[in-house]
A = this chain, B = another copy of it.
């Protein structure tokens, strides 16, 4: 009689080159979109309005890129990070074809790196995860690395392999949508007169607003993504743990920061790439999240006159307004109030 429950993979269970097909394909619907709006208050016009999307030549309002990210990420959790100690980083994340309500997403991962900790208790697993729609088209392709416990500290150490990862996604790898009537995307509709030409490298923007997170909210969000990581849901167990409370899924903070960034980056209508990111400190129910952004790079997209790209670094803080751009201490270590350091590339209409 086989053991029926999934206890997840431990560091020893991963092999370089291993391919894992993740369970539970998920159809995203207008219901998921409404919940996403209600959890973050996002207001980017293209994701909000079928009428605008249709005017621009799209079949309907595309689903928020981060809802796609969370859905694909959630699928990987039971296989990759059920025994994770920490989610360490992201790289080379490229969003592919847009996702519309009714599309069914599935995910698979390839193990591309393994590095055991010197203490023999855990190791870092690098996976390249790919999300596809029902037609096999790639909707997201990204790398993350995560520290996973070993089943046994006696298991022999393996030769480390660390993949080479780019600092940022190359412009030629970005997938830009085709908008047949970009002139119909206006400042009145989007809520901001600031377009691609108005931003400069090095510019910093305080997104001003703060949003307090309730326990019910982050759990509703994380379950929506079918993310099963235990630390987010079980107060009975967590009260005996390191923090005494439930940890909030790091992706929840990414979405909150992105929604807050509307106030200053309202025309960043699409995330095209995730270059990197770190959850620099944990967040908990009751924390109030603020955010600020820095324009890291500004570049044209070859063959595209309608919009350009901005590489943006968005930093989120807890219980710390961002008028002073909280960041790192004199040793280069993130301040204890800084909870997210996210490096991504957005598309913005040129005007």
Interface of A with B (CB < 8 Å)?
A: 1-2, 4-7, 21, 23-27, 29-35, 37-41, 43, 45, 48-52, 61, 78, 101-102, 104, 106, 134, 188-194, 198-200, 203, 205-212, 214-217, 219-224, 226, 228, 230, 233-237, 246, 263-266, 286, 288, 319, 321
Contacts and interface: CB of A to CB of B under 8 A. Distances in A.
A52 B25 CA distance: 8
15 contacts: A1-B203, A4-B205, A5-B207, A24-B190, A27-B50, A27-B51, A30-B31, A34-B34, A37-B226, A39-B220, A41-B222, A41-B233, A50-B104, A214-B216, A235-B286
A196 to B, nearest CB: 12
Most buried by B among A30, A230, A246: A30
A57 to B, nearest CB: 16
B1 A200 contact: yes
B5 A25 contact: no
Contact of A191 (B24, B40, B263): B24
A48 B34 contact: no
Nearest first, the 6 A-B pairs at minimum CB distance are: A31-B34, A23-B191, A41-B223, A236-B288, A51-B104, A29-B30
Nearest to A31: B34
Nearest to A7: B208
Contacts of A4: 192, 194, 198-199, 203, 205, 264-265
Given A51-B134, A211-B234, 4 more contacts: A35-B38, A38-B221, A41-B222, A41-B228
Nearest to A207: B5
Contacts of A45: 23-25
**Taking the full assembly, how many copies of this chain does it contain?**
3
A274 B30 CA distance: 30
A185 B48 CA distance: 34
A230 to B, nearest CB: 6
A206 B106 CA distance: 28
Given A21-B188, A235-B212, A49 B27 contact: yes
A346 to B, nearest CB: 13
Nearest to A218: B216
Contacts of A106: 51, 189
B234 A189 contact: no
A246 B38 CA distance: 17
A122 to B, nearest CB: 21
Nearest to A60: B27
Contact of A5 (B2, B30, B40, B206): B206
Contacts of A266: 23
